[in-house]
Structure 1
Amino acid sequence: MQYVRLGQSGLKVSRLCLGTMNMGSKDWKPWIFNEKESEPIIRHALDQGVNFIDLADFYSIGAGEEVVCNVLNRIGRRDNLVITTKVGYAMSDDINAQGHSRKNIFNAIDASLARMGMDYVDIYMLHYFDTDTPVEETMGALNDIVLAGKARYIGISTMTTGQLAKILMVCDQNSWQRPINMQLQLNCAYREEEREMLPFCQDQGIGVSVFSPLARGILTSDLQSTRNKTDFFTAEMYNDEASRNIAHSVAKVADARGCLPAQVAQAWVLNKPEVTSMLVGADTTEQFDSAVAALEMQLTPEETYELERNYTPCDLINDYTSGKRTSRFSRPAKEPFA
């Protein structure tokens, strides 16, 4: 396993991060693994040297944190792990049990730690940018949580570059803790973050952890999985001609390499110098091994062109652009993939 500093912090994380959205309770989604099903995957990730674990209170409405940390508390060493969880999405019908108000952040961190059976989380992250709460209120609350010892660092996820700039300005003006990690979506079929967010994070010394490197599974060439057949967001985000053509290009490069398409798609993400760590939401130990192999894969210029030639600009994928994707068209192929 490879380890790198997360941004300009002193924290060192594995280049592969265990994504856990698929672990928790089947009452939430049909493709979720229960604790017994999750344990072999978690154990295998730790055996492969992973020390970075990604959680969120919203996953299985709290059951995800409980299931994953039950396993970690049994088989892992807390001091050796870098555990992150997120706050923001609605956890109940209570109007204040959502968003990034001081009230919800304080309530949510205590509830998360209780479910996790832990005294602190390494990185406490905003799940998105809450436009209904003043940034000063949100970041002041996060700073107080760090000072209280309930979190070692803070992070953010899924927002525009301007929103992140606003957060950093408020932190600097008040000498509050700055976020050390930005978690964002990046893959061959969604590259909008390359325009501003990745360069800005690099300039500001913020680490980048990438989720959905397989575009919610379409880049594996398996569109018949339970998740792809039942997850509304997969169809909304990637049901266009360009995405399908990109998936076909990934399969062509993989066939020429003699490896799985998933490995090629993951290698494309890991080859990006701005990417600190890549989340792996594996359903099997074999799927996790594909990501481990991708760490050592260097793509050729010809392979990179084939993977990127179909991409055209699209609307940002975030909480504010649902249902507003634009149609996209591909460029012609070149040898040796024509």
Structure 2
Amino acid sequence: MTYTRLGDTGLEVSQLCLGCMNFGSERPWMMNDRAASVELIHEALDLGINFLDTANVYSRGESEDIVGEAVASANRDELVLATKVFGDMGEGPNSSGLSRKHILDQAEASLDRLDTDYIDLYQIHRWDDDTPIEETLEALDYLVETGRVRYIGASTMTAYQFTKALYTSDVEDLSRFTCMQPEYSAVARYEEANLLEVCEGEGVGVIPWSPLAGGFLTGKYERGAGPDDGTRGAASESVRSYFTEENWAVLDAVRDVASEVDASPAQVALAWLLERDAVTAPIIGPRTSEHLRENVGALSVGLTADQVERIAEPKTPRYPQA
């Protein structure tokens, strides 16, 4: 395993982050097996992954609870535990959003489920149009000042919103976002025209979600054929949205390069992301030991500048995406 710094911070994280959304029972394509989930996390730790990302809304806290159980016997000082806040966690008022009340309540709940004294990276899952960014940042700053949180991050917003948040932190002398979590892959490149330039300019780490486009870039789907029953593609309209001619052309290039470097399409797709200057650590979401080890194998795949360009060539990044 290789390690890198999270943006301009001194925090060392593995170059792959273990995404923990699959650990739960909310949807049919999730692992739905607590013991197997814990075992897979243990295997990731054994492979040197020290960076784990979850969220309070993943199976309504079940994912955080599983992660907490899995890391209980690990060396906490070496781990970087990340979770997120924003989504709906109840039926009544104040059960979602980025108000001071919701953030502070949910931080305590996440700490309990993760069975830890502090969260390394606490991220806002989405932008909240109904709460002033000053209120949100003041609540996050309080968590940092009281030692409950070490660093703060954000996910999925416009460049204007993110720039406004960074500017507000600087002006008000509040804790600053050190990390951004956008969707980013060889077939979802719209953030190159939105957030990534801001992140590079401001020294913000980037941990892309869905780096394999929901499995599309593994090569398991074929032109003209519907997804097999039981796959994420069959259950998710967002995966099927990748089935465009432009994206099939990207996948063709990924497959060609995979043959050239003796790797799998998934490994090449991850290696391509790791070649992007802005990227710190893609968030992988394996559900089996085989998938986990295949993903980690991407760290050993070297791509030439020509191969990187051939994979990029079919797409023209636009925001918002066409």
Please tell me the TM-score bracket, short chain as reference.
over 0.9
Instruction: For 2:20 and 2:275, locate their aligned partners in 1 and report how far apart those are by CA, in whole Å.
Output: 23
Q: Within the alignment, does 1:56 sit opposite 2:55 as a pair?
A: yes
Query: Percent same amino acid at aligned positions?
Result: 40
**Which residue identity lines up with residue 34 of structure 2 in the other structure?**
E
Among 80, 88, 91, the residue aligned to 2:89: 91
- 1:228 — aligned with what? 233
Once superposed, what is the RMSD of the aligned Cα atoms?
Answer: 1.6
Offset at 1:315?
Answer: 4.8
Q: Within the alignment, does 1:126 sit opposite 2:121 as a pair?
A: no
Relative to structure 1, is the Cα distance of residues 258 and 4 closer, same or farther in structure 2, using a 3 angstrom cutoff?
closer
Relative to structure 1, is the Cα distance of residues 95 and 240 closer, same or farther in structure 2, using a 3 angstrom cutoff?
farther
Range moving further from structure 2, 90-99 or 140-149: 90-99
Q: How do residues 200-279 of structure 1 correspond to structure 2 at under 5 angstroms?
A: 200-223=198-221, 224=228, 226-236=231-241, 238-279=242-283
Unaligned stretches of 5+ in structure 2? 222-227
- 2:43 — aligned with what? 44
Unaligned stretches of 5+ in structure 1? 317-324, 327-338
Offset at 1:305?
Answer: 3.0
SS across alignment from 1:211 = coil
Instruction: For 1:249 and 1:229, locate their aligned partners in 2 and report how far apart those are by CA, in whole Å.
Output: 24
Instruction: For 2:254 and 2:172, locate their aligned partners in 1 and report how far apart those are by CA, in whole Å.
Output: 46
Instruction: For 1:181 and 1:243, locate their aligned partners in 2 and report how far apart those are by CA, in whole Å.
Output: 28
Among 130, 144, 150, the residue aligned to 1:146: 144
Among 11, 26, 29, the residue aligned to 2:27: 29
CA contact (8 A) 1:19 1:281 kept: yes
Instruction: For 2:9 and 2:259, locate their aligned partners in 1 and report how far apart those are by CA, in whole Å.
Output: 40
- 1:136 — aligned with what? 134
Instruction: For 1:313 and 1:170, locate their aligned partners in 2 and report how far apart those are by CA, in whole Å.
Output: 28
Q: How do residues 60-209 of structure 1 correspond to structure 2 at under 5 angstroms?
A: 60-73=59-72, 75-209=73-207
Offset at 1:196?
Answer: 4.0
How many correspondences in the alignment? 314
Q: How do residues 309-324 of structure 1 correspond to structure 2 at under 5 angstroms?
A: 309-316=313-320
Question: With CA pairs under 8 Å and 6+ residues apart, which has the higher RCO, 1 or 2?
Answer: 2
Show CA shifts across 1:212-246 (max 9, x none): 1111110111133621111232224x232212222
Q: Within the alignment, does 1:301 sit opposite 2:301 as a pair?
A: no
Offset at 1:309?
Answer: 2.1
SS across alignment from 1:4 = strand
**Which residue identity lines up with residue 14 of structure 1 in the other structure?**
S
CA contact (8 A) 2:191 2:319 kept: no
- 1:335 — aligned with what? none
SS across alignment from 1:222 = coil
CA contact (8 A) 1:24 1:65 kept: no
Instruction: For 2:220 and 2:93, locate their aligned partners in 1 and report how far apart those are by CA, in whole Å.
Output: 39
CA contact (8 A) 1:100 1:133 kept: yes
CA contact (8 A) 1:84 1:124 kept: yes
Instruction: For 1:166 and 1:17, locate their aligned partners in 2 and report how far apart those are by CA, in whole Å.
Output: 27
**Which residue identity lines up with residue 114 of structure 1 in the other structure?**
D
Instruction: For 1:123 and 1:133, locate their aligned partners in 2 and report how far apart those are by CA, in whole Å.
Output: 21
- 1:330 — aligned with what? none
- 1:6 — aligned with what? 6
SS across alignment from 2:71 = helix
Instruction: For 2:29 and 2:67, locate their aligned partners in 1 and report how far apart those are by CA, in whole Å.
Output: 16
SS across alignment from 2:300 = coil
SS across alignment from 1:31 = coil
CA contact (8 A) 1:51 1:81 kept: yes
**Which residue identity lines up with residue 154 of structure 1 in the other structure?**
I
**Which residue identity lines up with residue 226 of structure 1 in the other structure?**
T
